[in-house]
Amino acid sequence: MPTSTAVPAITPRRLGLLRARLLDWYEAHQQPFPWRDARDPYAAMVAAVAAQQTQMPRVLEIYERWMAAYPTLEALARADRADVLRTWGRAGYPRRAVYLQQAAQRCLDQHEGRMPRDLDALLALPGVGPFTAAIVRCFGFAEDSVAIDTNVVRLVGRLVLGDLQPARESSPAAILDAATRLMPRGEAERWNPALMDFGAQVCAAKPRCEACPLATLCAARPRFASGEVAEPVRAQGAWAGSDREGRGRILAALRASESPLREAALLSDLDAGGAERERWERLLTALVADGLAWRARGRIGLGTAPVRAPVRARRVAED
Ligand code: SF4
C-alpha cells in the first residue's frame, strides 16, 4: 500500500544541483532513439505505445519495423488489420497494435488527419493514457509535459520521497507532484528522457548508489547505505500455461496462415487431448472481442473480417 503521500520541500539549491547533474549525466549517456528528435507526434505515439511493458532495445526494433510499414497516420489508418498485426508480430500485448490503428483512424475522422496537441483530445484516443499523451506532447510538440513510466516512478520516489520501492510505497499523486516540481521549464525534451534513462540504468531495481551522481542529494541514499533493501515488486506469473501464452499461440497460428483457418481444426491443434476446450473457446472469444481476430461460418482469421463486395444488381438488357 502506498505510504508516501506528501512531497517534502526541495530547496532551490538542491533543485538546481539535481537538475544540473541529471542533465549532465544525460548529455554523456543519452541514447539516440529516433523519436526523441523527430518532432513528429505520430512517431512519438508509436514509440510510447511500444514502450509499454517492453524493454528499450526491443522498442527500437518494433518502432523501426512499424514506421517502415506505416510512416504516416493515414497509412496506418487505411491498412488492413491483419497486416497491422503481422507487422506487430511477436512483440507482445498485440492489442497495442489495434489501439495504434484505432487512434490513427480517430485522428483521420476527428482531427483532420493530425495528432491533436490538446491533452484531453489525446487522452480520448484509444490506448492513449497519461504517459503516452505526455510523450506525444513532449517529443511531438515540445510541450512541458511530465512523462511518468516505471523507471521515473522508481527514481523520483527514491530521490524526493525517500521510498525504496516507490511502485508500492509512494502514492501516484505524490510521484506526479514531485516529478512536476523537478522538471525545469522549457527542458521537457531533454528532461523526460534523462529521468527515464537514469531510472533504467542507474537507479534500477537494484540501485547503483555508489556510482550515482545524485547520491548526495537523494532522500533514499542513507537508507540504502544503512543496508535496507528494496523489496522486489511482485513478479509476473508463470508464462507457460497462462492465458497470455494461449493467446500468443492462437495469434501465431493465424499470422502464419495466408487464409482463414477452420475453427474446429485450430481447436484440435491447440487442444490435442480435448481436456481444455472451454478455455480455448474462451480465449478465441476474447481475441475476437479485442479486435485481433474474427470468426464466421466456422472459420477464424486474423484482424477484422474481410468486407464482402456487394452483389451487383443484375442489369436487365433492353435491346
Ligand atoms: S543514490 Fe541510489 S537510490 Fe538515490 S537516485 Fe542514486 S541510485 Fe537511486
- The domain ranges of the chain are 12-30+147-225, 40-141, 243-302
Nearest CA to 52 among 94, 86, 89, 115?
94
Identify the CATH class of 40-141. mainly alpha
Q: What is the pLDDT of residue 239?
A: 86
Same fold, 12-30+147-225 and 243-302: no
**Average pLDDT per run of 10 along the chain, which is 319 residues long?**
76 97 97 94 98 90 97 98 96 96 98 97 98 98 97 97 96 96 96 97 96 98 96 79 93 94 94 88 96 95 81 45
| Amino acid type, 282 | R
Q: What is the pLDDT of residue 319?
A: 37
Cα–Cα dist 298/8, whole Å: 62
Distance (angstroms) between ligand 1 centre and the Cα of 5 equals 20
At what angle are helices 243-256 and 263-270 packed, to 10 degrees?
130
Identify the CATH class of 243-302. mainly alpha
Q: What is the pLDDT of residue 247?
A: 95
CATH of 12-30+147-225, one of 1.10.1670.10, 1.10.260.40, 3.40.50.2020, 3.40.50.300: 1.10.1670.10
pTM over 0.75? The answer is: yes
Q: What is the pLDDT of residue 318?
A: 40
Closest ligand 1 atom, residue 218 Cα: 4
Cα–Cα dist 278/301, whole Å: 19
Here the contacts of 51-58 (C-beta below 8 Å, separation 24 or greater) are: 51/149, 52/93, 52/96, 52/131, 52/132, 53/92, 53/93, 54/91, 54/92, 56/31, 56/200, 58/91
Q: What is the pLDDT of residue 2?
A: 54
CB atoms near residue 58 (< 10 Å): 13
Nearest CA to 55 among 99, 85, 92?
92
Q: What is the pLDDT of residue 314?
A: 45
CB 59 within 8 A of CB 147: no
Ligand 1 site residues (CB inside 6 A) read 158-159, 202-203, 207-209, 212, 214-215, 218, 220-221, 224
Which among 26, 152, 158 is the best mutation to test ligand 1's pocket, defined by most ligand atoms within 8 Å of the CB?
Answer: 158
CA torsion through residues 50, 56, 58, 60, sign = positive
Helix (H) or strand (E) holding 236: none
Cα–Cα dist 208/214, whole Å: 11
